[in-house]
Chain A
Amino acid sequence: MPAPHLLEVAKLSHCYDSLGARGRRIEFPDFTLDAGAMLLLRGASGSGKSTLLQRLAGARTSSADVFDSTRITLRGQNILALSQAQRDALRPTTIGWIPQRVHLLNSLNVIDNIVLPIALSAGSKAMLRQRALELLERAGLSALVSAKSTELSVGQAARCCVIRALIAQPKLLLADEPSAALDSQSAQAIAQLLCDFCSAGGGLIVATHDEPFQQQLRSHCATAPADIELSTA
Chain B
Amino acid sequence: MISKLIWANVRDQPLQFLLAVLLCALGMASILAVLGLQHTLETHGARQAEGIDLVVGAKGSALQNTLAAVYHLDVPNGNIRLADVETLAKHPMVAQAIPISLGDSVGGARIVGAPDPFYALYNAKPEQGVLPNAPLEAAIGAAAARKLKLRIGDQFFGTHGFADSGDAHGDHAFVVTAILAPTGRVIDNLVVTPLASVWVVHAEHTDANAPAEVTFALLRLRGLAAMASLPRFINAETPMQATSPATESARLLANFDWIAVIIKSFAAALTVATALALLGALSQALEHRQTDLALLRAMGVKRAQLWWLLLGQALASVLLAALVALLLIAAGAWWLERYALPGVVVNGGYLAQLALWVTLAALALAILSTIPVIVRTLRLDIAALLSKS
The closest CB in chain B to the CB of A150 belongs to B12
Contact A107 B389 (CB under 8 A): no
Take A54-B383, A101-B388 as given contacts and tell me if A106 and B12 are in contact as well, using a CB distance cutoff of 8 Å. Answer: yes
Chain A, interface size: which category?
A: 20 to 34
Residues of chain B contacted by A107 (CB below 8 angstroms)? 5, 8-9, 11-12, 292
Binds A, one of B48-56, B145-153, B296-304: B296-304
Does A120 reach chain B (CB closer than 8 Å)?
Answer: yes
The SS class assigned to the A binding surface is: loop
Distance in Å from the Cβ of A41 to the closest Cβ of chain B? 15
Q: Which of A89, A101, A116, A121 contacts B386 (CB 8 A)?
A: A101
Interface string of B352-389 (1 = CB under 8 A from A): 00000000000000000000000000000011011111
Does A42 sit at the interface, judged by CB under 8 A? no
- B389 close to A100 (CB less than 8 A): yes
The number of residue pairs between A and B whose CB atoms lie closer than 8 Å in the complex comes to 83
Interface: B305 (CB within 8 A): yes
Q: Produce 1/0 per residue, B158-192, CB < 8 A to A.
A: 00000000000000000000000000000000000
The answer for the CA separation of A91 and B1 in the assembled complex, in Å, is 18
* CB of A225 closer than 8 Å to a CB of B: no
Partner among A60, A91, A120, A164 whose Cβ is within 8 Å of the Cβ of B383: A60
- Give which listed residue, B299, B303, B385, B388, contacts A91 with CB less than 8 A: B299
* A97 x B298 contact (CB < 8 A): yes
Residues from chain A with Cβ under 8 Å of B298 in the complex: 57, 59, 91, 97, 99
Specify the chain B residue showing the minimal Cβ separation from A95: B300
B205 within 8 Å of A by Cβ?
Answer: no
Measured between beta carbons, the chain A residues less than 8 angstroms from B299 are 91-92, 116-117, 120, 164
* Chain B residues whose CB sits within 8 angstroms of the CB of A105 once the complex forms: 5, 8, 292, 295
In this complex, which of A93, A120, A181 has the most chain B Cβ atoms within 10 angstroms of its Cβ? A120
For B305, list chain A residues within 8 Å (CB): 120
Evaluate contact between A88 and B297: CB separation under 8 angstroms: yes
A113 to B157, CA, bound (A): 77
Q: With the chains together, A105 CA to B11 CA distance in Å?
A: 13
Interface of B is mostly: helix
Report A-chain residues with C-beta under 8 Å of the C-beta of B386: 59, 99-101, 103
- Inter-subunit contact B389/A101 (CB<8 Å): yes
Structural contact, B300 and A103, CB atoms closer than 8 A = no
Q: How far is the CA of A142 from the CA of B89 in the complex (A)?
A: 95
Q: Is A189 an interface residue (CB 8 A)?
A: no
Chain A 160-176 interface mask (CB, 8 Å, partner B; 1/0): 00001000000000001
CB distance A89 to B302 under 8 Å?
yes
Q: Would you give the shortest CB distance from A62 to chain B, in whole angstroms?
A: 11
Per-residue CB contact flags for chain B residues 1-32 toward chain A (1 = under 8 Å, else 0) read: 11011001101100000000000000000000
CA A91 to CA B386, docked complex, whole Å: 15
CB neighbours of B388 from chain A (8 A): 101
A105-133 interface code vs B (CB 8 A; 1 in, 0 out):
11110001000110111000000000000
Contacts of A51 in B (CB 8 A): 383
Q: Name the residue of chain B whose CB is nearest to the CB of A88.
A: B300
Q: Mark A195-221, 1 if CB is under 8 A from B, else 0.
A: 000000000000000000000000000
Bound Cα distance from A106 to B289, whole angstroms = 10
- Is the C-beta of B291 less than 8 angstroms from some C-beta in chain A? yes
Residues of A within 8 Å of B5, CB to CB, are 105, 107-108, 116
A224 proximal to B (CB < 8 A): no
Jot down 15 A-B pairs with beta carbons below 8 A, ordered by A.
A50-B383, A50-B387, A59-B383, A85-B303, A88-B301, A99-B383, A101-B387, A107-B5, A107-B12, A112-B4, A116-B5, A117-B300, A117-B301, A119-B1, A120-B302
Other contacts beyond A107-B11, A180-B389: 12, CB < 8 A: A57-B298, A59-B298, A59-B382, A88-B301, A92-B299, A99-B383, A101-B385, A103-B386, A105-B5, A105-B8, A117-B300, A120-B296
What 3 pairs across the A-B complex have the smallest Cβ distances?
A: A99-B386, A91-B300, A107-B12
